[in-house]
Structure 1
Amino acid sequence: MANHDTIVALATATGSGAIAVIRLSGIDAISIANKIFKGKDLTLQKSHTIHFGIIQDGNEVLDEVLASIFIAPHSYTKEHVVEISTHNSNYVIERIIQLLIKGGARAAKPGEFTLRAFLNGGMDLSQAEAVADLIASNSAASHQVAMQQMRGGFSNELKNLREQLIHFASLIELELDFSEEDVEFANREQLKGLVLNIGAVLKRLISSFEQGNVLKNGVPVVIAGKPNVGKSTLLNTLLNEERAIVSEIAGTTRDTIEDEININGVTFRFIDTAGIRNTQDIIEAKGVERTREKMRQARLIIYLADPQQDDLEEISTQIGEVALLGVPFVTVVNKTDLLRPDHIEDLKVIEPIFISAKNKAGVEELKDEVLRKVNLHQLNTDDVLVTNIRHVEALQKTSESLEKVLHGIDNPVTSDFLAMDIRQALHHLGEITGSVSTDDLLENIFSKFCIGK
């Protein structure tokens, strides 16, 4: 993990646009940039200043640019950083990067700038991972959670837990030095109280993963029902585009179709499924089985019914079968534009949302009910939510180690066994923030970043 060399990469996305930013970081970043920059001497400029000039290859002028200077440790990576803003021409960008490499830099690996920020103490590992989440965020909720973690909300909670454990760990370790004198420096009742309190915090953090994960990746919502009740029409209406094929022929949808929409800052993954019915068609039967599997995995089911196909008793039976899955669901009666007022009145006993997907009637009410059912629209910006499966696994291992500590207190064991279990809990907490890490772990995390970040 040596980071003594200078790295370079395009920091902005490729494609159409007016400006591109090329980033250098490392001990020689300013001097390397200065070799090809014609204007002020960059090596003599103050930090956080921007300078106009040209980039030149010999006598050839490549572009007019702005060079931004950040002097260590006052930069993202805590190293010298130069960001060159140039016109967004692939030819110009490639020429400038090649000149910088020729001058002594090397091409950066994915996530290497953020890796250096972590290695140089600019952020801990959980904050670094939140940077990737922030870049990938596509809704107000996922952005909110990523920002909260990047600003250290999760890290501060873990830091507080570790500091309390370290205090008792040091007292237990001290007892080992006086093992022959049979003394206790760590009050066992206080230690038990601490472990119970930490256990409660860990339980809260672990349980927050379900909510944090869906905010990060989108809430899976399955649209289910019998064939030809209007599931594909509803999906198209929600997305405001012809995403699914609509046909009067039963069984048109034979596989799941997914797409995302944003409702009040929360991303939902709506999944159109094959109609549920008994069929001799092998392919359609596989689609129906996949529908049932998706329904079991969903955070919410929109069960669509068509009272022109089935009477109230049959629809009630279908609703009962959905309820047995144990997944929250919304009952929706479609094609209300074709129903008589007295028929609608009779159907109110099953407390459905009435819509006409074809005419887009009642769809906004359905969206409101979806939000209410998943209970994510009242996200508190101060909530610490776990969104990363790696973090959850480490928290679970920490909790298991602390259970062993409690067992050791209740069934008196020697200090060395208590010390071992506390050290193990500290190790797992440290894995989250990176105070305990391996090169393989870091490579796996940062390889998922985009180049230039």
Structure 2
Amino acid sequence: MINESTSTPIQTEDTIVALATANGAGAIAVIRLSGPQAIQIVHTVFKGKNLLKQASHTLHFGFIADGEVVLDEVVVSLFIAPKSYTKENVVEISCHGSPYIIQSIIKLLMVKGARAAKPGEFTLRAFLNGQLDLSQAEAVADLIASDSKASHQIAMQQLRGGFSNQLQVLRDQLIHFASLIELELDFGEEDVEFANRDQLKSLILEINKVIFELVRSFELGNVIKQGVNTVIAGRPNAGKSTLLNALLNEDRAIISPIPGTTRDTIEEILNINGVNFRLIDTAGIREATDAIEAIGVQKTMDKISTSALLVYVFDVNELSEAELKSDIESLQRPGIPTLAIANKIDLPVKRSITFGSSEAIKYLEISAKEKQHIDELKQLIYDTAIQGRLTGEETVITNIRHLEALQRTQESLERVLYGMENPVTSDFLAMDIKQALYYLGEITGTVTTDDLLENIFSRFCIGK
């Protein structure tokens, strides 16, 4: 039988302290303590109400003093275990944001018995004490790092347990069958089957389908988390830099009628519908006239290879349909969607382009100089990159650790299916199901190692 221990609060012996707000001078700073002696330690330096007699979730005005020397006027917030972020006693001291005051108070609290917190140690304690599972704890770091509506939305969905709940349903179903197969092993000599093999096969196929969608979502989750690399490429004087300026609504790139003005890449962030796009203006693609331009053209090709979206800009008055198709064919890379953007429609059109849109290439006419159809282009960029996959309700994977664990789960379940088809004995089936459960447990922290926890929480900021 498979047994899983329930999570109980783990009270560590020491009390930790750290600055919870950003470093540097500011109007207000928050110093956080967590641990069994948090309230007692602050009580010894606080001039005001007796903190040991106050209720949880209350605020208290007073002074922090080192003996007779007053360090600052503060507000102290109390959170008594287990009703706190870490499920331990937590105290937050709101003081003035002077670096001198902050350091003086932290130093005083350490003299009174606290120790400096390690990166991510507050959230680590929240995880160890059962307040969060591991994927939720990682979502805290993603939430802090989120710089767009979409990345914030995904982190919040994971923090609220959407991903964890989905995985728990899968694990519970697998545990049920694993338990039945374990029971079969106890009656091995009687040749009985407690686990219906057809039901087990249907369950695994259903779980594999869910995992496949989660794995597939990583591509979207990764670009949202990192920003969508969007390369603007084309021949010299096609209007690439003008388009960059029009998209950003500012004069970011130098515009000149002289071919080859842009010789290095220019990168800027554009937020469209809550998603960050990393726009990369590149050197014009042509036979280079000197070594510096040749380097610029090579950089363009390198950027295209690592992009998530290619925006090919061309002068609709100068380029023929055959030349356009030839250029795009030479630049396209597998898996990278391409937009063919006909620029300069504000000028008398000498050529007629009948370039048809396809799933791989979409076509739009604009005037970057006159900012005609720029909003339509932004929407096209967004739709092409996101492809309707971001609705706010689905689970999106953004963490490479989760992706690898899900892929290993798939491999284990495939072995279970193989074993049922061939067939193998119940003990081998049980072994592969346990392996799948192990990998799913790695994601939420049901299965952990000290090295794994250290690796995850060392990337957090101190104070969180």
TM-score over 0.5 for the pair? yes
Moved more, 10-19 or 97-106: 10-19
> SS of the counterpart of 1:336?
coil
The superposition leaves residues 10-60 of structure 1 with CA deviations (integer Å, 9 ceiling, x where unpaired) of 111123432111000001000001111110111111100011111111111
For residue 375 of structure 1, the aligned residue among 386, 389, 395 is 386
1:81 is the counterpart of 2:84? no
Moved more, 194-203 or 170-179: 170-179
Matched with 2:209 is 200
- Any conservation in 2 of the 1:264–1:377 contact (CA below 8 Å)? no
Structure 1 CA distance for aligned equivalents of residues 185 and 43 of structure 2: 58
The superposition leaves residues 220-251 of structure 1 with CA deviations (integer Å, 9 ceiling, x where unpaired) of 21101112222223223323444434444433
1:407 is the counterpart of 2:415? no
Query: Where do residues 207-246 of structure 1 align in structure 2 (5 Å cutoff)?
Result: 207-246=216-255
Matched with 1:130 is 139
1:144 is the counterpart of 2:161? no
The superposition leaves residues 372-417 of structure 1 with CA deviations (integer Å, 9 ceiling, x where unpaired) of 2223567222211111111011000000000000000111111111
Instruction: Tell me the amino acid that sits aligned with residue 420 of structure 1.
Output: M
Structure-1-length-normalised TM-score: 0.94
Structure 1 CA distance for aligned equivalents of residues 40 and 369 of structure 2: 64
- Any conservation in 2 of the 1:118–1:124 contact (CA below 8 Å)? yes
**Number of positions where the alignment pairs a residue of Structure 1 with one of Structure 2:** 450
CA shift for structure 1 position 368: 1.7
CA shift for structure 1 position 427: 0.7
For residue 438 of structure 1, the aligned residue among 438, 442, 449 is 449
For residue 430 of structure 2, the aligned residue among 403, 409, 419 is 419
Moved more, 362-371 or 317-326: 317-326
Cα distance change on mapping 1:27 and 1:343 into 2, 3 Å: same
> SS of the counterpart of 2:82?
coil
Structure-2-length-normalised TM-score: 0.91
For residue 452 of structure 1, the aligned residue among 453, 459, 463 is 463
- Any conservation in 2 of the 1:39–1:54 contact (CA below 8 Å)? yes
> SS of the counterpart of 1:260?
strand
- Any conservation in 1 of the 2:264–2:299 contact (CA below 8 Å)? yes
Instruction: Tell me the amino acid that sits aligned with residue 203 of structure 1.
Output: F
- Any conservation in 2 of the 1:30–1:43 contact (CA below 8 Å)? yes
Structure 1 CA distance for aligned equivalents of residues 393 and 316 of structure 2: 45
Moved more, 279-288 or 378-387: 279-288
Structure 2 CA distance for aligned equivalents of residues 78 and 244 of structure 1: 52
CA shift for structure 1 position 424: 0.7
- Any conservation in 2 of the 1:130–1:150 contact (CA below 8 Å)? yes
CA shift for structure 1 position 312: 4.2
- Any conservation in 2 of the 1:266–1:377 contact (CA below 8 Å)? no
Query: Where do residues 241-320 of structure 1 align in structure 2 (5 Å cutoff)?
Result: 241-279=250-288, 281-320=290-329
> SS of the counterpart of 2:194?
coil
Instruction: Tell me the amino acid that sits aligned with residue 449 of structure 1.
Output: F
Structure 1 CA distance for aligned equivalents of residues 13 and 99 of structure 2: 29
1:46 is the counterpart of 2:55? yes
Structure 2 CA distance for aligned equivalents of residues 123 and 55 of structure 1: 32
CA shift for structure 1 position 260: 1.2
- Any conservation in 2 of the 1:110–1:446 contact (CA below 8 Å)? yes
CA shift for structure 1 position 283: 4.2
Instruction: Tell me the amino acid that sits aligned with residue 128 of structure 1.
Output: A
> SS of the counterpart of 1:18?
strand
Cα distance change on mapping 1:284 and 1:325 into 2, 3 Å: farther
Moved more, 261-270 or 236-245: 236-245
Cα distance change on mapping 1:4 and 1:284 into 2, 3 Å: farther
CA shift for structure 1 position 280: 5.7
Matched with 2:371 is 360
The superposition leaves residues 95-141 of structure 1 with CA deviations (integer Å, 9 ceiling, x where unpaired) of 11111111100111111111110011001010011111111111111
Structure 2 CA distance for aligned equivalents of residues 30 and 2 of structure 1: 15
Cα distance change on mapping 1:141 and 1:324 into 2, 3 Å: closer
Matched with 1:385 is 396
1:162 is the counterpart of 2:171? yes
CA shift for structure 1 position 307: 3.4
> SS of the counterpart of 1:303?
strand
Instruction: Tell me the amino acid that sits aligned with residue 22 of structure 2.
Output: A
User: For structure 1, which runs of at least 5 residues remain unmatched after alignment?
Assistant: none
> SS of the counterpart of 1:422?
helix
User: For structure 2, which runs of at least 5 residues remain unmatched after alignment?
Assistant: 1-9, 358-362
- Any conservation in 1 of the 2:27–2:96 contact (CA below 8 Å)? yes
Structure 2 CA distance for aligned equivalents of residues 190 and 223 of structure 1: 52
- Any conservation in 1 of the 2:11–2:36 contact (CA below 8 Å)? no
Structure 2 CA distance for aligned equivalents of residues 112 and 248 of structure 1: 57
Sequence identity (%): 63
Which structure has the highest helix share of the two?
1
